[in-house]
């Protein structure tokens, strides 16, 4: 995979919650670089707005990245990301070192293509996306940006299973390892079926609400 992202970082010495809060007040994100048995973890920090800009691009999550610390460069992947639950802030970021000769394990997105010409959708059906990302194992050079799922030929009642996906050479799906169940990635179902289920749920909800009101009146 071609490397198209470069991230600037710097070493940090102080650790702990207090040190992390001080970094964030300075517009920095605390992070850690780890991986490779012969190399220790490295505490780093990154400029928040630069990292946030990269995170707006989907490919950033599944590419080999170039992490620059001073005059040193390291190939990495984004391994974990912690965001503030209510504010648009990144609280912490983890990067994992990668080596050309060592397989890596990471998640990549699933792209559903040809929905506009899907047979089942044209017949009035609805497309359900059951899996939106997949964990893969491969060498860094074989890492795909995403896995495509062609839904053009799906009719109502049809589905695409994991085993039916076109996986690039050298890439393994962990979901299919060890005799795991072959799960549907996408399926097309009748629009009428969805309406019937929704109608039944509304009917049940109405009965329940009526019962609750009666119970409340009795208690009063």
Q: Give residues with Cβ within 8 angstroms of 48, minimum separation 6.
A: 24, 27, 28, 29, 89, 90
Asked if residue 151 has pLDDT above 90, the reply is yes
Give start-end residues of each CATH 2.40.240.10 domain in the chain: 6-99
Q: Phi and psi at residue 100, in whole multiples of 5°?
A: -60, -30
Average pLDDT, stretch 152-179? 95
φ/ψ region of 163 (left if φ > 0, alpha if ψ in -120 to 50, else beta) reads alpha
CATH 1.10.3720.10 fits domain 6-99? no
- In this predicted structure, the answer to whether residue 217 has a pLDDT above a threshold of 60 is no
Q: Which residues contact 113 (CB under 8 A, 6 or more apart)?
A: 148, 149, 150, 151, 152
* Between 53 and 216, residue with greater pLDDT: 53
Residue whose structure tokens are 């207090």: 18
**Sequence ranges of the chain with CATH classification 2.170.120.20:** 106-195
pLDDT at 179 over 50: yes
Q: Which CATH superfamily is domain 106-195 in?
A: Ribosomal protein L25, C-terminal domain (2.170.120.20)
Segment holding 150, helix H or strand E = strand 147-150
Q: Mean pLDDT over residues 166-184, rounded?
A: 92
With a pLDDT cut of 70, the percent of the chain lying above it is 85
Is the pTM higher than 0.85? The answer reads: no
């Amino acid at each position: 995979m071609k490397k198209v992202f470069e991230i600037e970082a710097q070493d940090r010495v102080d650790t702990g919650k207090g040190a992390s809060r001080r970094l964030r007040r300075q517009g920095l994100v605390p992070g850690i670089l780890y991986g490779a048995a012969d190399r220790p973890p490295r505490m780093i920090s990154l400029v928040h707005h630069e990292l946030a800009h990269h995170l707006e691009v989907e490919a950033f999550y599944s590419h080999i990245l170039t992490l620059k610390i001073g005059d040193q460069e390291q190939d990495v992947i984004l391994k974990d990301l912690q965001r503030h639950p209510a504010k648009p802030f990144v609280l912490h970021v983890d990067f994992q070192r990668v080596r050309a000769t060592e397989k890596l394990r990471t998640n990549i997105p699933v792209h559903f293509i040809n929905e506009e010409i899907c047979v089942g959708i044209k017949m009035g059906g609805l497309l359900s996306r059951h899996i939106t990302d997949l964990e893969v194992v491969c060498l860094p050079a074989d890492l795909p940006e995403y896995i495509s799922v062609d839904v053009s030929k799906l009719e109502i009642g049809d589905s695409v299973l994991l085993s039916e996906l076109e996986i690039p050479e050298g890439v393994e799906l962990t979901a299919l390892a060890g005799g795991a169940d072959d799960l549907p990635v996408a399926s097309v179902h009748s629009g009428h079926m969805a309406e019937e289920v929704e109608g039944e749920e509304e009917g049940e909800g109405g009965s329940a609400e009526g019962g609750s009101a009666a119970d409340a009146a009795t208690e009063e």
